[in-house]
Amino acid sequence: PSPGLLLSDICVGDLRPWSCRNRCNQYQDSSFFGFTCSCHPLCLVHKFCCSDFETECPNEFQNARENVEKFPGISAVCDAGLGAHVVSVCPAGATDAQKRLCEGGPDVSSDVVSPADGTPVSDSVLGWHFKNRFCWECWTTQNQPVVWRMDILISSNSRPAEDYRLETLTEYAERNPETVAWFPPEPLVRVPCPTRFMEEDIAASCSACLVDPATEEACVNGSTNYLRIGSTRFRNHHCYLCS
């Protein structure tokens, strides 16, 4: 392990970024260890829960499970355009029209819709995120959709006031996706897509000479709970312990 950091430091108290101990309702860890697994009820839909979410946060887990069981098959995936996890498909029983508007996105020129209908929304009660209003509608949560905020980096050149209409900004965002960032209104939690380090350049095997076989097995085949120690990133804390 890295010099200057004792094993006791990462195995007790709040310094367990792979665990939900003292982290219930937190989606990500902003400490020295960096982004890791989730202890927020959203994680059951977004499939990024810490392995001990159920045991460390039984109330949150039970409430989240009851909500998810009402909507069989619901799951969020990474949307590269949004840079966040959203529900982007309808359930099996949805109509073809619902699936087209949700999964393909509305065509403002031919569909009788507002430009805002194609923007991401969150469920006002459950907190789940959806690709657009049509994806939210086809799951019929009976709550209300909450539209996300769109931040756009645009030129400071003076422009006529009409250039800042929603229709104009939406068209600009479609043409220049790299200038746009989407955020749900507070206190809802945005669930970012995994960054590149979660797929590449990960220490995912043991390098120490004296390694307990159980630790090595847990490092290679155990749960994936990404951990950053200094500049090194590990597949899980077992890989860190045998580094």
pLDDT digits (tens, 9 = 90+) for 57-89: 999 999 999 999 999 999 998 888 888 889 999
Spacing of C-alpha 92 from chain mean position: 23
CB 229 within 8 A of CB 17: no
pLDDT of residue 78: 86
pLDDT band of 197, cuts 50, 70, 90: very low
The pair phi, psi for residue 150, each rounded to 5°, is: -110, 120
The burial of 79, by beta-carbon neighbours within 10 Å (0-12 exposed, 13-18 middle, 19 or more buried), is given as: middle
CB 23 within 8 A of CB 36: no
Residue type, 4: G
Is 146 or 21 the better-scoring residue by pLDDT? 146
Is 188 or 60 the better-scoring residue by pLDDT? 60
The pair phi, psi for residue 161, each rounded to 5°, is: -60, -35
CB 87 within 8 A of CB 99: no
Question: In sequence order, what DSSP letters do the residues of 125-189 get, joined into one string?
Answer: TT--EESSHHHHHHTT-SS-EEEPEEEE----S---GGGGSHHHHHHHHHH-GGGEEEEPPTTSP
pLDDT digits (tens, 9 = 90+) for 118-136: 889 999 999 899 999 999 9
Name the most confidently modeled range: 93-97, 109-113, 191-195. 93-97
Is 76 or 12 the better-scoring residue by pLDDT? 76
Diameter of the chain measured on Cα atoms: 69
Whole-model pTM: value is 0.68
Name the most confidently modeled range: 88-92, 193-197, 227-231. 88-92
CB 134 within 8 A of CB 116: no
